A = this chain, B = another copy of it.
């Protein structure tokens, strides 16, 4: 199957930020085979007129808990919500079916927002894999390992076994890539963190966890004379397989250590700042040459699963923190949301750029809406103006998943109806926390 996209303003996101303002791109199977400027003479099985829209690599969402859709807008402004209602409510009411439908809904929402790859951390993660396969989404999927009982394990650290099962089930899958996901530095025992590191090494898998995020986490380690990142390093977890999520409070020494160990960072500006936690030192992380991508966090934390929102929040927060308008010009932010994410997953040669031989994971942003006129700088348009509703076409692995702004393979209204239908017990359980939500 060869698909030709024409009449697009192509942003390749290569080293030179090469653009084709009146560009075409040809796919064959799951790969990009050709792209350039003007009118090509190729024949294709299907030709799509992008109507002058911006064609760029699909967004890479490097930190998410997609199945948490049912929690959205619950206690958004409540301090310490993780312990006050999120953990308890999850254990009371989260089921495999709810995880599956929540994930499928979240994935549908991401595809509609131009996201073509995401990193997930949750429970019943095999249900998230099922949803990815159904939707055609590329997922780096991490069953949570945590030293307490969970919705899918009555015993603490039960996730360890579930992770290994997923690693065995999907050893070399194109879409599903299991990752080892210990919850965080204070919620998983030292022994279990070591076991997670061993698993990641044994299977050559990525390891991702929440780190340097919480005030109480920082205090806990400060009392022990170290940082959470130094602690992880002591356990042998700081290495090229580590995707460290958040890193809000990373010190200069932490950053040097992450760089030394070839670790990567998942930056969640929206959820970090909505929670008032702080702005991670991304200027310094970028200057050190550490690969980093942008994450929406879960719909309970970041609310939307759109990288457009993350890009705009990224721009304003880092420019303001550093009192420097010129810092992170728009194109660097688009890079972080696409190629940067791919690099943070060690997949920079697979996707994240539009080049021949790369996966055909891509997004077209329509310029029809008034807030996107005029376009002197397409990167500015994407960072400061566009939102998920402007996405018109999305492809993962050469297959069209969104066309004319609509999902091709899923019925979002039916899906919402189904999800709402299984949310009854969850809603009832939630009423116990009415004072904080």
Contact = CB atoms under 8 A, between A and B. Distances in A.
Contacts of A347: none
Interface string A59-98: 0000000000110111111110000000000000000000
A304 B385 contact: yes
Interface string A322-351: 111111111000000000000000000000
A323 B373 contact: no
Contacts of A384: 73, 76, 274, 303-304
Interface stretch (A11-19, A159-167, A311-319, A396-404): A311-319
Contacts of A385: 72-73, 303-304
A41 interface: no
A234 interface: no
A326 to B, nearest CB: 5
Nearest to A309: B312
Given A376-B74, A377-B76, A423-B374, A319 B274 contact: yes
The residue among A309, A373, A380, A385 with the most chain B CB atoms within 10 A of its own CB is A373
Nearest to A332: B77
Contacts of A329: 77
Contacts of A304: 371, 384-385
A343 to B, nearest CB: 22
Nearest to A390: B389
B73 A112 contact: no
B270 A326 contact: no
Given A274-B384, A326-B79, A384-B76, A373 B416 contact: yes
- Which among A277, A370, A437 has the greatest number of chain B C-beta atoms within 10 A? A370
Contacts of A274: 315-316, 319, 325, 384
A336 to B, nearest CB: 14
A157 interface: no
A391 to B, nearest CB: 11
Contacts of A279: 320
A273 interface: yes
A435 to B, nearest CB: 13
A110 B412 CA distance: 28
Interface residues of A, number: 70
Contact of A108 (B113, B324, B370): B370
Q: How many copies does the complex hold?
A: 2
A388 interface: yes
A151 interface: no
Which residue among A113, A303, A330, A430 has the maximum number of chain B CB atoms within 10 Å of its CB?
Answer: A303
Nearest to A108: B370
Contacts of A1: none
Contacts of A305: 371
A276 interface: yes
Nearest to A72: B374
A277 B276 CA distance: 19
Contacts of A208: none
A369 interface: yes
Given A72-B385, A306-B371, A376-B437, A322 B105 contact: no
Contact of A313 (B74, B79, B277, B316): B316
Interface in A397-421: 412, 416, 419-420
A74 B377 contact: yes
Contact of A325 (B77, B375, B376, B419): B77
B73 A377 contact: yes
A150 B316 CA distance: 30
Contacts of A75: 376
A305 to B, nearest CB: 7
Nearest to A324: B276
A331 B304 CA distance: 18
Nearest to A373: B416
Given A304-B384, A387-B387, 5 more contacts: A77-B329, A77-B330, A79-B325, A276-B324, A373-B419
Query: 4 nearest interchain CB pairs?
Result: A389-B389, A273-B316, A276-B319, A303-B384
